[in-house]
Amino acid sequence: MAEPTRWLDEAEQRVWRQLLSADCRLRERLDRELRVGANLTLGEYDVLVHLSEAPGRSLRMSDLAQRLLLSRSGLTRRIDGLVRAGLVARRPCDDDGRGSLAELTPAGLDRLRGAAPVHVGGVRRYLFDPLEGPDGLAGLAHGLDRIGRALGAE
Amino acid sequence: MAEPTRWLDEAEQRVWRQLLSADCRLRERLDRELRVGANLTLGEYDVLVHLSEAPGRSLRMSDLAQRLLLSRSGLTRRIDGLVRAGLVARRPCDDDGRGSLAELTPAGLDRLRGAAPVHVGGVRRYLFDPLEGPDGLAGLAHGLDRIGRALGAE
DNA sequence: CTAAGTTGGTTGCGACTGCAACCGGTTCTG
DNA sequence: CAGAACCGGTTGCAGTCGCAACCAACTTAG
């Protein structure tokens, strides 16, 4: 085999670096806005969103960890913090003695309602407004979809 | 003011989540491949790349930190590791007694040459191959460019 | 029914990061 | 030519993360 390595041309290199940079700065910005506007981390916000969309406003820990692209231990600690803050509660799982459910509390739902406008505003401002245009969104969506499939494959 | 918050529609929500997910998994994958294939972190690789492209294969610490989107303290420690590994050397800055230069060593350049094919292969496999197609790259590039400008503005 | 294997969640540990404080060197100001 | 303000780099500290080890509960095989 020993393929001779097809290097990246100028344009590809620029796109690649822009992707890393844009994403990094985007996360940073949104996290900061969320912290000052709703006293929530982007990661914590993500937990609340996923729980709020789940039936019963609750999810198994492992399930939630997978959706958040987080290790199980990472989720354990993130939930610890949210429990301390009273935004999430742990419940034992009825049909599996090992399991825990993370459940959104009323306070958690309130906090989420306060945070959502801040977050959505940022996403609009930094992501979708700049993409405004005919091919922008569709092209990006298409590309991301195919990248996602490639990542999910092997 | 008190705008009524324009929520994200279904498609926008999907794009946004895919962007976060794709980028997260992409970084993870590339980092892992680089670790096993060249014994380098993605962050360390990034340092070597930037140094190798700089005149004199060296850069001021602050300058480098900015390019890497890293805090100064973060860079100090990343360079610490690379110095211990013999891939980078610190040199005092001639025209400014406070400054330090990070300089790529010959060993660092060798290591970079070994790592580059691994990294480029991954970027091709997970980013550009999936984007193959007429509008894919151009659309994504355009979008990223505008996002970058929006992030850089305020 | 019991023993082995598997799965869900937590904990110890080390790695990495940013912020704030700090120190020496530089530049501005009177 | 001082003294103040500033700047570049490093360090203490706290927060977050993944991996490996662990325990308890479920499942499967004999």
* pLDDT digit string, tens, across residues A113-142: 999 999 999 998 888 888 766 565 666 666
pLDDT at position B3 over 50: yes
Q: pLDDT class for B83, splitting at 50, 70, 90?
A: very high
Q: Which nucleotide is nearest to A73 (CA to C1')?
A: C10
The rounded distance, in Å, linking the Cα atoms of B52 and B64 is 12
- Per residue, the 3-state secondary structure of A107-153, as one string, reads HHHHHHHHHHHHHHHHHHHHHHHHHCCHHHHHHHHHHHHHHHHHHHH
Q: Please check whether residue B45 is in contact with residue B34, taking contact to mean a CB–CB distance below 8 angstroms.
A: yes
Nearest residue, CB atoms, A5 vs list B121, B133, B146 = B121
CA A151, A46, B151, A25 torsion: positive or negative?
negative
Q: pTM of the predicted model, to two decimals?
A: 0.91
Looking at residue B153, what is its pLDDT? 46
- CA-to-CA distance for A108 and A136, rounded, in angstroms? 35
Segment A23-50 shows an average pLDDT of 95
Lowest mean pLDDT among B59-63, B76-80, B135-139: B135-139
Average pLDDT of chain A is 88
Q: Residue A154: what pLDDT?
A: 44
**A95 has pLDDT over 80:** yes
Distance from CA of A111 to the nearest CA of B (A): 16
Q: From CA A70, how far away is CA A62, in angstroms rounded?
A: 9
* Nearest-angstrom CA–CA distance, B17 and A143: 13
Does position B136 have pLDDT exceeding 60, yes or no?
Answer: no
Distances (CA, A) of B138 to A60, A138, A143: 41, 12, 10
A44 contacts A82 by C-beta, under 8 angstroms:
yes
For chain A, percent of residues with pLDDT exceeding 90: 64
Strand D neighbours (CB under 7 Å) are A 41, 43, 69-74, 77-78, 81, 96-98; B 60-63, 65, 72-73, 75-77, 79-80, 90, 93, 96, 98-100
Cβ-Cβ contacts under 8 Å, A65 against chain B: none
Strand-pairing partners, residue B101, are B60, B91
* pLDDT at residue number A134: 56
In this prediction, residues B45-54 reach a mean pLDDT of 98
Mutation site, A28, A132, A137, A144, interface B, largest B CB count within 10 A: A144
Q: What is the pLDDT of residues B4-32, one digit of tens each?
A: 889 998 888 888 888 888 888 889 999 99
